[in-house]
Structure 1
Amino acid sequence: MVSIFECERRKDFAKSFADFFEDLRTKITTSSGVNYTVFEYLNRGVRYWPHRCGATGIDNYLKQIGVDITAPHNDKDLLVIFELLINLLYWAVQQDYIDDKNCDFSLSFAKNDVENESNRLIKNAKYILEQCCNMKIREEQDDEFPKYYITKRNVSIDEAAISVPRLADVLLGYYDVRNADNVDAKKAALTAIYAYMEPHRKEYKGLSCGAISEEFFASINTFGIRHNTESQKKMSAKKMVGLCDKLFAMAVYILQTPDVNKSKDALKELRDK
């Protein structure tokens, strides 16, 4: 079966990424008249990015998370590289933050030149993600500076996040590209969703989603998602990813049901007037 990360592709992502990477060779000028490429600027900027985890350059950061920028193995590796570049482009736009770090390198650049090129490349990145992968850039707030994630576009998940704001980050982050095969991340998300839903179990049982909600609760407690004991049913990591995705889809449906029912009642009231 085709994965959700391979569906709805209208353009070749690998080629589009290569074109985007080539575009990073665009020159930006310094006050001293020396030219640097956008990539060189971003590579230096990593050491001032709040989410760098001690990295001193793009290659250094990617190696820490197991990706080789010189030899990506698949589209997921390309997307992880793309995600880092997008984060650094957003960071580059926020020159005031970098200037606060007394970075002589960033201060030497013409601010408008950096902002214009970074914003142009961010727009291109959004277009590539939409056209090639049906994905989008998701912003997650942080105390220091937002972090940006590449995630699957999904209207149902967006609606569920609106219905349950407390779970917004969990729901919207489930299909982040980094979590595509990450069983632990998927289990953690489902555990958080379960914790929210469990006190509402009786309410769900009385709605049209009742049977599905009961299956969700039973499965979460059977397949080692909340607990890892000998009594839990075991399966391969690949099958567990598939199971988690099915349970997540069920959860999204259940979480939307109360609001859908309110809309149904409101429409009936309008018809009856």
Structure 2
Amino acid sequence: MVEAGVRLLGATDVRRLAAELDLRPTKQRGQNFVIDANTVRRIVRESGVGPDDVVVEVGPGLGSLTLALLEVARRVVAIEVDDVLSARLAETVAEFAPEAAAALEVVAADALRVDGVPGPAPTALVANLPYNVSVPVLLHLLQVLPSLERGLVMVQAEVADRLAAGPGSRTYGVPSVKAAWYADVRRAGAVGRNVFWPAPNVDSGLVAWTRREPPATTAAREQVFAVVDAAFAQRRKQLRAALRPLAGSGEAAGAALEAAGVDPTARGEVLDVAAFARIAEALAEAPQA
């Protein structure tokens, strides 16, 4: 943690760094860099990160959020897939926060392919996630980094709504249920377009989460997630019909649903993660034809 000696990036700094790197932000990698110091401080504040935390950041880009995290956290592990950006990040921290340089670890990798991070076990995830892969990245890191206790991520506003939605909501779906397997998830605010360079064409939202144990079940996570995927593949189908391919027949699907205490005529959008776990367990225990 370095409370003093950190200078955060402003719009002029971001554009200078980008020019020095001959960087042209790409939509393919979801590159929209935060240029407002108040925004990154707000993200860090809302995340609840403190001096004992080891923070994972995904897609640090030019280092706007990285510097704000280094002000308060014990250590920051920044995962960056862009070779040019990952090579420059440590140099940027040395320039803007020299006293914090030793607290930064840069991992040049695709966050969807990492299966761990170097150093002490991470306790928090705080990131401006690339919008095109935000949900897969979040779910992957929740799975492979079980020491993560909490986090806050910035994603497309529509995705934030989906992640935080509860059963019965219009936006409730696969991301909602899978995120709920790992954590309690909530909306933590909105972020305007003008704090980014280049400005995105969509609104942004903050999503906070706190780790909790998954539902008690003998079914494996993969089995539960397969049920979730099938239930929402065609949202308007009743569960008995939606789960027919997975169960082998409509009769088998109906029997499993009844064994799980779920109305076979219900739709997936009304079930919580515990109900999906019960269904997966019933399907796994059903006699094979």
Scaled by the length of structure 1, the TM-score of the pair is 0.35
* Structure with greater proportional strand content: 2
* Structure with greater proportional helix content: 1
User: Who wins on radius of gyration, i.e. which is larger?
Assistant: 1
